[in-house]
Structure 1
Amino acid sequence: MTMADFSFDNSYARDLAGMYVAQRPAAVAAPRLLRLNTALAEELGLDPVALAPVAAEVFSGAHLPEGAEPIAQAYAGHQFGGFSTQLGDGRALLLGEVIDSHGARRDIALKGSGRTPFSRGGDGLAAVGPVLREYLIGEAMAALGVPTTRALAAVATGGQVWRDSGALPGAVLTRVASSHLRVGTFQFFAARGQADMVQRLADYAMARHDPELRGAERPYLAFFDAVVARQARLIAQWMGLGFIHGVMNTDNMTISGETIDYGPCAFMEAYAPGTVFSSIDRQGRYAYGNQPAILGWNLARLAETLLPLFDADEKTAVDLANARLEGIAALYQAEWLAVMRGKLGLAGEDAGDAALAEGFLAALTGTDFTRGFGALADAVRDPGRLHGLFGDRAALERWLPQWQARLAPDAPARIRAANPIYIPRNQRVEEALSAAEAGDMAPFERLLAVITDPYTERPGLEAYALPAPEAFADTFRTFCGT
């Protein structure tokens, strides 16, 4: 069999011995390609034509391309606030790294490729539904301009995966990331008192993601600042789209600032800060409105691992860390305000913009988040366009004059550029995944085509811009897929 040329250059395996376990993917019964992301393949410097004949075998793990060095990465993590000293890639394997067409290093990893030493009693497998959910939502986020891991391929294995709901068709996802380094990766070694490993990991992460910081006066503090900035910007973008990650554990928080792990995620429809979809988030820890606070909590856990690198004197290191942590709320607020100014079409910056944005959200309560913001483009000239959407007309009427006084001259264009028409609506996602599990990929393909061009209104797609009926929305829950 002729394999496509990946030209792997595997720095993690080469430079970080002791931070992973070599592991081959599990055998698969009858791999069948569900989807190949040809645009992403080209971006990675791969030839989709050469890949096509071997894609099912390569992206199921049945055949390893030349240069692949499959490894399961070690990491720990706080899961819903409780610390697990050993998590790791329980159903994922890093095949290797490539240098993409922009000169950036990218990981190529399999997810659902079988048991590893980190599986903790799990089967290491994945089902078609969760694999295609990650493909779909990751591509939607990329189209929305949100930093994200992405799917290169989805392959049905021909086998079955057993879950609480019974037997499900098995699948493997090929995931691409700037790296799979997580807060939990640092926690793994810090929890074991392996300061030398933490420093090696920090040096590697800095060289990979922030090479310009190596000459800084306090390079590790500067590195922490860079991670904070990326994550603050990312969560602000989530909040601006009504996106709820659902499982913001420290092992799901990347050093690169990319969204990772689309298990129980969903997009909020009716605006309510307490919205939770994840079936395992029974206390609402990761509710929509709590995501900014969890940002700070998770970054504090990263700071704890890096304290010895901030300064040799423990008190000085703690003081430096606390000063940074105390500034996270203001940094996030600035990023969130930048998002909100775009969504509201505001001119410049004003001290009252935070109150203006909060006022709109208060009026938006119970109204569809995406449609409510999107309607503002037409409301610039005709405020009456909002009346049919908003339940709290009195709050809206009080807010409108304040908003109109702050509008940019090109406000409609700004608003349309910042507010998508189409998001992965929960009902449409579930319909597409159910059809795919039954062997029909057509609804998935239609939905993918809609959400990967989210800002262009197209005739015939009106149903994709509508929220689900209340009967669906009131009972909708998401699951991890493990």
Structure 2
Amino acid sequence: MPPSAAYRPSRSHETLGPEFFDPVQAAVFPQHILRWRNQRAAEPLGLGTLSEAEWIDHFGCFTPLPGSFPQPLALRYHGHQFRHYNPDLGDGRGFLFAQLYGADGRLFDLGTKGSGQTPYSRAGDGRLTLKGGVREILATELLEARGVTTSTSFSLIETGEALHRGDEPSPTRSSVLVRLCHSHIRIGTFQRLAYHGQTDALGRLIDYALATYWPTVAPGPTPALTLFAEVMAAVAKLGAEWMAAGFVHGVLNTDNINITGESFDYGPWRFLKQYDPRFTAAYFDQTGLYAYGRQPTTLLWNLERLAECLLDFAPEAALVAQLETYQARFRPALRDTWFRRLGLVSTELEADLGFLSTLYQFMFDSGAGFEQTIFDWVGGRADRAAASPQAELYERPDFRLVRAGLDARANPAAVLPPGDGPADLPIEDVEALWAPIAQADDWSRFEAKVAAIRASARG
């Protein structure tokens, strides 16, 4: 069965030219077992009508989608990894498989993870563990439910290989993941071109990015400066969304920050149990460089690296002036995202941020559950809090200022989250969800968790 009438393919990325990618072949896997099909995401793209066999053919065997790329493209990029520049990066276990337009006319990428070796694999096998694929689905589903701009886990197919990894029991099961997002153009894409002095290609990338991702924005006399302002606004907003979601990405290298401000590429991610700015997700982040509380300033550091790539196209002073507006973009976004989650009515920005600081301090000092506190106080209503398992914490003297702030911003019309408690996802839950899959191929707890996460979304 062909894709439905809603299907509109694209080969947009090819127009950038051969300096941006390498055509590659997907790995040939010994087995294909469909484990995750995101029908909700497939429908508006015209792919919801695919049979299971057709789905596996495209997203497990990587037979080209009609009208899109005849061959997958491994994207070229560099990046700072833990602030050390690495010119040997690029798509090492993934590629851009296809592009297509959504119902709203926006361009989407279908990218992969675990699809085999490329010229940038170095010593890697180009594969993805099944557990890694499961973790990525859980991350993207919960982030979406919490209002974060994220890539979407589109497909997960178990591939029948035994993989050896140093950070989990081996051999372990293998998979290939397909993710959906608007762009895989990273800050590191710009860095590679600047590193090699490919000024013409960099100019094409600036024009392409503006025309493709911000078609309604006039380029102005300095397109690079216009683009930088849009990227900075998108990235600042993403940082605010992470903070309000209690999310710690773990690896905020410049090759993991795309220009459309979509969270993607989930490795050692974690969600906070309690509010703690020092919390890190990656065991190898010994200095806490990418700790929860440092994420906003880390994103600014990454944006500074992008600005360096644009110096041939925009005055340095103008780029610096744009960078100085980062806090003016981040702070209202932080207030807005937190207030959406809490269902509160905003007042004046500085007063609202002061209220959030008081809330942070209470959560840090009391050890209150991050998600439980949000669940208890949506709309500023006290009735749910009174029945909370941490109700006694709200009797502490240091909660009085928080309560006053909640009362001042209460919203009786707020939509309350469903259920008896938050759809939380501590690392222990992830392990508990994985255990029956690993031991008995039982996916029921995982499927129930995803359904509960989706049900928890309040729009």
TM-score (norm 2): 0.90
Report the Cα offset of residue 392 of structure 1: 8.5
SS in 2 for 1:160: strand
Instruction: Select between 244-253 and 446-455 the one with higher mean Cα deviation.
Output: 446-455
> CA-to-partner distance for each residue in 1:432-478, whole Å, 9 max, x for gaps?
2233334221111111101112147xxxxxxxxxxxxxxxxxxxxxx
Report the Cα offset of residue 352 of structure 1: 2.2
User: Which one of 281, 286, 290 corresponds to residue 282 of structure 1?
Assistant: 286
Contact kept? 1:4, 1:46, Cα under 8 Å:
yes
CA distance in 1, matches of 2:382, 2:171: 54
Report the Cα offset of residue 213 of structure 1: 3.0
Contact kept? 1:31, 1:57, Cα under 8 Å:
no
1:126 to 2:128 alignment: yes
Contact kept? 2:332, 2:349, Cα under 8 Å:
no
Report the Cα offset of residue 189 of structure 1: 0.7
1:100 to 2:102 alignment: yes
User: Which one of 208, 228, 232 corresponds to residue 232 of structure 2?
Assistant: 228
5 Å-filtered alignment, 1:83-98, equals: 83-98=85-100
> CA-to-partner distance for each residue in 1:54-113, whole Å, 9 max, x for gaps?
222321235344443301000111111111113110000111211122222111122101
5 Å-filtered alignment, 1:371-390, equals: 371-377=372-378, 380-381=381-382, 388=391, 390=393
CA distance in 2, matches of 1:104, 1:36: 22
SS in 2 for 1:443: helix
| Distance change >3 Å, CA 324–CA 155, structure 1 → 2 | same
CA distance in 1, matches of 2:98, 2:368: 45
For the aligned residue pairs, the C-alpha RMSD in angstroms reads 2.3
The percentage of aligned residue pairs carrying the same residue is: 30
Who is 1:52 aligned against? 52
| Distance change >3 Å, CA 226–CA 32, structure 1 → 2 | same
| Distance change >3 Å, CA 196–CA 399, structure 1 → 2 | same
CA distance in 2, matches of 1:357, 1:415: 20
5 Å-filtered alignment, 1:288-299, equals: 288-299=292-303
Who is 2:255 aligned against? 251
Report the Cα offset of residue 283 of structure 1: 1.2
Who is 2:362 aligned against? 363
May I ask how many residue pairs the two structures share in their alignment? 444
Who is 1:471 aligned against? none
Contact kept? 1:296, 1:329, Cα under 8 Å:
no
Contact kept? 1:160, 1:168, Cα under 8 Å:
yes
User: Which one of 251, 261, 264 corresponds to residue 260 of structure 1?
Assistant: 264
Report the Cα offset of residue 231 of structure 1: 0.9
Contact kept? 2:114, 2:128, Cα under 8 Å:
yes
User: Which one of 167, 178, 182 corresponds to residue 182 of structure 2?
Assistant: 178
In structure 1, stretches of 5+ residues that fail to align are 311-316, 457-482
| Distance change >3 Å, CA 389–CA 203, structure 1 → 2 | farther
User: Which one of 320, 336, 339 corresponds to residue 337 of structure 2?
Assistant: 339
User: Which one of 394, 398, 403 corresponds to residue 395 of structure 1?
Assistant: 398
| Distance change >3 Å, CA 127–CA 351, structure 1 → 2 | closer
> CA-to-partner distance for each residue in 1:307-344, whole Å, 9 max, x for gaps?
2111xxxxxx1111111112212321121122234427
SS in 1 for 2:99: strand
Report the Cα offset of residue 384 of structure 1: 5.5
Report the Cα offset of residue 280 of structure 1: 2.0
SS in 1 for 2:391: coil
| Distance change >3 Å, CA 234–CA 381, structure 1 → 2 | same
Contact kept? 2:78, 2:86, Cα under 8 Å:
yes
CA distance in 1, matches of 2:211, 2:2: 31
Who is 1:209 aligned against? 213
Contact kept? 2:149, 2:241, Cα under 8 Å:
no
Who is 1:460 aligned against? none
SS in 1 for 2:51: helix
Report the Cα offset of residue 160 of structure 1: 1.5
CA distance in 2, matches of 1:57, 1:85: 34
CA distance in 1, matches of 2:100, 2:183: 11
> CA-to-partner distance for each residue in 1:394-449, whole Å, 9 max, x for gaps?
21134433443x224x25616759xx931333322222223333422111111110
Report the Cα offset of residue 254 of structure 1: 0.9
TM-score (norm 1): 0.86
CA distance in 2, matches of 1:75, 1:403: 46
CA distance in 2, matches of 1:437, 1:93: 28
Instruction: Select between 274-283 and 422-431 the one with higher mean Cα deviation.
Output: 422-431
Who is 1:34 aligned against? 35
CA distance in 1, matches of 2:11, 2:215: 18
Contact kept? 1:346, 1:411, Cα under 8 Å:
no
Report the Cα offset of residue 274 of structure 1: 0.6
Report the Cα offset of residue 348 of structure 1: 2.7
Q: What letter corresponds to residue 236 of structure 1 in structure 2?
A: A
Instruction: Select between 289-298 and 7-16 the one with higher mean Cα deviation.
Output: 7-16
